[in-house]
Structure 1
Amino acid sequence: MSLTRDFTPYDSRRTASGHVSSGAPVRRSFPKSWGAEHVGENSVLFRLWAPDIERLRLRIAGRNREMLPAGQGWFTLTVEGVEPGTPYQFVMPDGKAFADPASRAQDGGVDGHSMIVDPAFYRWNMPAWKGHAWEEAVIYEMHIGTFTAEGTFRAAASRLADLADLGFTVIQLMPVSEFPGDRGWGYDSALPYAPHHAYGSPDDMKAFVDAAHRVGLSVMLDVVYNHFGPAGNLIVSNIPSFFDPQFITPWGPSINFAQPAVRAFFIENALYWLEEFNLDGLRIDAVDEILDETSEKHILVELAERVHSETTGRRRHLVMEDHRAILRNPERGGTPDAFVAGWNNDAYHAAHVIATGEAVGHAAPFAAQPVAKLAACLAHGGMPSQDDDEQDARSDADAGGSSPLTSYIHFLQNHDHVGNRAHGERLISLSEPGLLDVMTSMLLLSPQVPMMFMGEEYGEVQPFAFFAEYEGDIAMTTWANRLIEAEKFGGLPEGVTEPWQLDNPNAPEAFEKSKLRWERRDTAEGSAAYGKIRDLIGKRREHVVPGLSGMPHSVGRVLASAPETIAIDWQLSDRLVQLRANLSASEVEAPGISGFVIHRVPETVVADGTGPLVMPATSLLAAISRH
């Protein structure tokens, strides 16, 4: 692994606030409790929490050194004369060597050596970047490995200007921390502090963030704090006290957040990404599986408090994924001051049933009246739980407008809902073009924060599959699980009953076929799709976003209308947004509008302002009235 970087000396003129005079390099580093930290010029302190053993050694530059017990399960050692790029590992009493769980970089992946990295060497080119207000968010979900043919941070950076030109404001990266192998989604992380070696060095990732800020894009990172992956997990075998065997997640034993050292590992991980990599926010995966029942303060509450009190330069945005759509549960940090938004799977499932007719697996509860359920999500954000066991967990307020509509992130597809399908088909291959135009217009012109999956902006037809690089029993289990997941996401194709009838997710082809084919953007179809998205995001920025700041929580009103029709008025802070959509194959009558039309699908839809609208099949009108 090359650790070549832009070596820039640390500028001693840095002020207490962290800023330097114009043009001077800015140092960004976060002093972790775990792992290797510089404590002086070429002097490095190594720390590891390992309460289950009595002896620990450090192997550095080919030599084993005895580490010193420091109490409460910690081992420490300070080593002089350590240059950046020096390899090291920790050594157990039985002689087994393993990577630093808080490694900043790996040579050869999870089974290789950890590498000394001094974050002071990177020159930050956008030190004054202040990010975007959340109301301005238009999110683009990206997987670094498949976004470009090269699959690296540097290659991805070269295409960021196009996304900014389209009007996107936030890049949300799928997890990038080190996982086994050279290809994967990233949710089976083994080393949460190290950018994956296949994507580039830590400085390559910093250059990506810098490039995004330079063109006006914020960058959020998807992080996984509920489990480690099934392979390459060095903590499971070497630090068993890190886990609580009394609680089991779908992916293995629960993390023991009652241990102060374990809490520090994850809270500092969040701070590390935000501070050292200058990120604008984090999306925390599956918080409903973050089990912390015995702590006085839930781990997510403490994490959010520390993020908002300790990060510098600007406020960072924290987003959660909770499949129950709980946004305001204080036990999970879901207060307005903690997490700004959550993914709204209710809205997704209702929209998917409408767009595709598929009502199986996770979408089955939305088979009846999906249009009415989507209207409820658009007007109020949430809706009552579809699972009786979860009814008590989700508050009535969440389903009835206690949260601002910008607390909900809406999408028509994402990595899960495409990649977990049997063949990874995108929505463009499952829905009629006119209906997809209507659904996309609703997504981008509604008050909720919209998110699009990479390639969606130009109508990518290439599938996005689930892919990994496992071997042995884990590889076979991963393949077998594809059958289970496909049943939940769209169902199994006719005649498919065995895993081997689906593509092997461990085969290189699953990864290669998932890469974007950028040449499609330059075709007539791709150019037309690209232009539509730029037009819609521009209309959102001009007509919708100015009314989102300071708007009341309960702003949406569903109007009585024909079946398969959505008619909603949103009273924002200074304007009324009106949406009328006919999702049926027949002409219908819909409530009239009072504002001026900002968007119509198709272009021939007419609104004369004199009474009820006559909406042709598969059509939409959006209008604005300012106060």
Structure 2
Amino acid sequence: MTGAGRAKIETMTLSDDRFAYETLWGPRFVEGGAEFRLWAPSAPSIELAIGDEAGKPSDFLAMEKDEAGWWRLTTDRIAPGGAYGFRLESGLIVPDPASRQQFGNVHSLSVLVDPAAYRWEAPEWNGRPWAETVFYELHTGTFTPAGTFEGICEKLDHLKATGITAIELLPVAQFGGRRGWGYDGVLLYCPHEAYGGAEGLKRLVDEAHKRGLMVFLDVVYNHFGPDGNYLGAYASEFFHEDIHTPWGPAIAYDEAPVRRFMIDNALFWLEEYRIDGLRLDAIDSIKDTTDTPLVKELAAAVRERFPARHVHLTTEDDRNITWHIERGEAGKPLLVSGEWNDDVHHTVHVLATHEQEGYYEDYLKASVSQLARALATGFVFQGDYSAHRDKKVGTSSEHLPPTAFVNFIQNHDQIGNRAFGERLTDLASRRMVECAQAILLLSPQIPLMFMGEEWGETHPFCFFTDFDGELGEAVSNGRRAEFAKFAAFRDEHSRDLIPDPNSLTTFAASSLDWSVLKRPNHRRRLAQVRRLLAIRQDVIVPLLNDIPPGCGSYHVADGSLAFSVAWTLKDGQVLHLFANLDDEPWPLPSSLTSTDLTGGHLVHAYPAEADKALAEGSLPGTSVVFRLAHQSLIAGAVA
């Protein structure tokens, strides 16, 4: 980066309980008032719009442009809480793209915010080590009846008691309308006012930290949403019209101010909001034409900025690459802490449901070989041919520790991108789901659960938006057209049954039903998850540092959905997984020694009698056993 892009990254430290981060974009307080800034190199003129008490433009002041394309003006006519925006030569008045708060929706004026006004009650919080992470992914608007950050605060004690250590919020940056997943954000520095705005998010983070919970935020740096994105109207340089993405022109990351907009955004959430980590959405869709990938520079900036805090990054990327999750000394992440591993989800889903349409066609319903490989060595596709993509995918991942991967059997994408938003609980047998859940929560990878999974929620989580007019109609029609390639929806009338994403009923149907916790079967599932997570923290987590390279190995039964995995973890401790996802018992092979089967101690068995059967040389149908032994004990048995 050159010029303005290398402006010094600063943190404004005002007191021990207040935090602010000075960004390149957006206003900043200076002597004489506040300096307002907007990068618009090709704009012939820009005026600062001053809003009245009703948030309506009441006056305009001319701004001056420098050689780098920045328009600036310092004035004392806008106090904190006052409204402002920018008027273009065409007369169009737009909000600040780095707005910290809006007077209303994404089309209204922005609000000048004192970023350090909030007084933190847990300013000493320093985070938690990566190995302790148990993710709970949630959508703010549907997690509670209130649909707000305050509503989440009221459920934090439930999450802590369950054994969750990190809540991960779907994107909260302000988007068009009041309902949506958040991946259509256009004001990336502005927590959505429908959820409680900046004050509400800071209080949520504070309350979580007081309970020892981390807060992660999902952020989107591969595109902007379609409603309220005015950047192209005054800064066409922000996009590459000749590079296309599924959402329109690619973001021009070769422009220093554009690159800084996103890197500052990441640092802003981590510093000013005390967020503990970020999930970088679909980094494979970031069309970066520079020699240094945005993710590499962003992650390096995070590592440099927070050397003493436990701050973590995760990524979503269907290329199965590893350069960003490589480890350094003592297995410490060099850039990104963990990669979302879709391969694990897909193998489990196909085994549990036998669905093989779309991207599921790459996965086997009659063999557990792919699941065993992913659990032992990382990805399924490590340079292997993918029929769905008609090319080789991925690179070797077996040298990485299990903690380089975030595993899940459900998440917002894999549920919500189904036509009716069904959860795995509704698609597979109870025994299969409970086996998969035990494998997820006790394997050494970092586990993630989707909201409600802990009690076996059956309410759907659908795709929903809040667009109207032509855009709303296009989204509704496009959603149904997406499923025309699936056998169940080739008939137009069947596609008419797919919920309309813009309907309020689709959003309402996606909300969690907390009342089911009064029912015995849901209470039983919750108790089981709590037991598993307690075991994880007591037994598994202490072994997740200093893991040797190539720690995993596996064995797959012939003609059966049964397998075993062994991970050599810290200090030579070996964690064994024995799983039989078939209906029939698995006669264990002679290659598994008696020490493999009975050495060390039992970690968990489902059902409870499975461990006794294991000792006798057979694993019952649909069962899972975890055992822990020391490497020296195993070596002695082999000798």
The match for 2:315 among 305, 320, 324 is: 320
- Looking at structure 1, the residues matched to 526 and 305 of structure 2 have their Cα atoms a distance apart, in angstroms, of 40
Aligned length: 599
Give SS of 1:580's match: strand
- Looking at structure 2, the residues matched to 19 and 104 of structure 1 have their Cα atoms a distance apart, in angstroms, of 19
CA 1:522/1:312 → structure 2, altered by over 3 Å: closer, same or farther? farther
Give SS of 1:314's match: coil
- Looking at structure 1, the residues matched to 614 and 107 of structure 2 have their Cα atoms a distance apart, in angstroms, of 67
Displacement of 1:214 in angstroms is 0.7
- Which residue in the other structure is 2:298 paired with? 303
The answer as to 2:96 corresponding to 1:100 is yes
Amino acid at match of 1:49: W
Displacement of 1:266 in angstroms is 0.5
CA 1:611/1:499 → structure 2, altered by over 3 Å: closer, same or farther? closer
- Which residue in the other structure is 1:600 paired with? 605
Give SS of 2:440's match: helix
Amino acid at match of 1:588: W
- Looking at structure 2, the residues matched to 207 and 622 of structure 1 have their Cα atoms a distance apart, in angstroms, of 40
Displacement of 1:494 in angstroms is 8.3
Alignment of 1:524-603 (within 5 A): 524-562=520-558, 563-574=560-571, 575-590=573-588, 591=592, 592-603=597-608
Displacement of 1:237 in angstroms is 2.6
Deviations 1:372-410 (A, max 9, x none): 100000011112244376856622x22xx1221111111
Q: Which runs of 5+ in 2 are unaligned?
A: 1-10, 52-57, 632-639
- Looking at structure 1, the residues matched to 603 and 21 of structure 2 have their Cα atoms a distance apart, in angstroms, of 47
Give SS of 1:120's match: coil
Tell me if the contact between 2:613 and 2:619 (Cα under 8 Å) persists in the aligned partners.
Answer: no
Tell me if the contact between 1:89 and 1:98 (Cα under 8 Å) persists in the aligned partners.
Answer: yes
Amino acid at match of 1:387: S
Amino acid at match of 1:597: L
CA 1:523/1:418 → structure 2, altered by over 3 Å: closer, same or farther? same
Amino acid at match of 2:399: S
The answer as to 2:477 corresponding to 1:483 is no
Alignment of 1:14-25 (within 5 A): none
CA 1:347/1:83 → structure 2, altered by over 3 Å: closer, same or farther? same
- Which residue in the other structure is 1:421 paired with? 418
- Which residue in the other structure is 2:40 paired with? 50
Tell me if the contact between 1:317 and 1:340 (Cα under 8 Å) persists in the aligned partners.
Answer: yes
- Which residue in the other structure is 2:356 paired with? 359
The match for 1:436 among 433, 437, 440 is: 433
- Which residue in the other structure is 1:194 paired with? 190
Tell me if the contact between 2:12 and 2:22 (Cα under 8 Å) persists in the aligned partners.
Answer: no
Amino acid at match of 2:281: D
Percent of paired sites with the same residue: 37
Moved more, 406-415 or 380-389: 380-389
Amino acid at match of 1:297: T
- Looking at structure 2, the residues matched to 589 and 212 of structure 1 have their Cα atoms a distance apart, in angstroms, of 47
- Looking at structure 2, the residues matched to 369 and 19 of structure 1 have their Cα atoms a distance apart, in angstroms, of 61
- Which residue in the other structure is 2:347 paired with? 350
- Looking at structure 2, the residues matched to 610 and 253 of structure 1 have their Cα atoms a distance apart, in angstroms, of 60
Displacement of 1:473 in angstroms is 2.6
Tell me if the contact between 2:378 and 2:402 (Cα under 8 Å) persists in the aligned partners.
Answer: yes
CA 1:191/1:386 → structure 2, altered by over 3 Å: closer, same or farther? farther
- Which residue in the other structure is 1:378 paired with? 375
Q: Which runs of 5+ in 1 are unaligned?
A: 1-15
Tell me if the contact between 1:324 and 1:390 (Cα under 8 Å) persists in the aligned partners.
Answer: no
- Which residue in the other structure is 2:627 paired with? 623
Deviations 1:73-120 (A, max 9, x none): 100011115322101111001111011000001121101111111021
Moved more, 365-374 or 42-51: 365-374
- Looking at structure 2, the residues matched to 431 and 583 of structure 1 have their Cα atoms a distance apart, in angstroms, of 12
The match for 1:139 among 135, 142, 146 is: 135
Displacement of 1:369 in angstroms is 4.5
CA 1:29/1:548 → structure 2, altered by over 3 Å: closer, same or farther? same
- Looking at structure 1, the residues matched to 448 and 204 of structure 2 have their Cα atoms a distance apart, in angstroms, of 20
- Which residue in the other structure is 1:387 paired with? 386
- Which residue in the other structure is 2:459 paired with? 462
Tell me if the contact between 2:325 and 2:335 (Cα under 8 Å) persists in the aligned partners.
Answer: no
Note the aligned Cα RMSD (angstroms): 2.3
- Looking at structure 2, the residues matched to 491 and 106 of structure 1 have their Cα atoms a distance apart, in angstroms, of 44
Amino acid at match of 2:622: T
The answer as to 2:157 corresponding to 1:161 is yes
Give SS of 1:30's match: strand
Tell me if the contact between 2:517 and 2:523 (Cα under 8 Å) persists in the aligned partners.
Answer: yes
- Which residue in the other structure is 2:401 paired with? 404
- Which residue in the other structure is 2:25 paired with? 34
Displacement of 1:579 in angstroms is 0.8
Give SS of 1:268's match: helix
The match for 1:171 among 167, 171, 195 is: 167
- Looking at structure 2, the residues matched to 18 and 31 of structure 1 have their Cα atoms a distance apart, in angstroms, of 10
Tell me if the contact between 1:283 and 1:318 (Cα under 8 Å) persists in the aligned partners.
Answer: yes
- Looking at structure 1, the residues matched to 463 and 241 of structure 2 have their Cα atoms a distance apart, in angstroms, of 29
Tell me if the contact between 1:483 and 1:498 (Cα under 8 Å) persists in the aligned partners.
Answer: no
Give SS of 2:625's match: strand
Give SS of 1:478's match: helix
Report the TM-score when normalising by structure 1.
Answer: 0.91
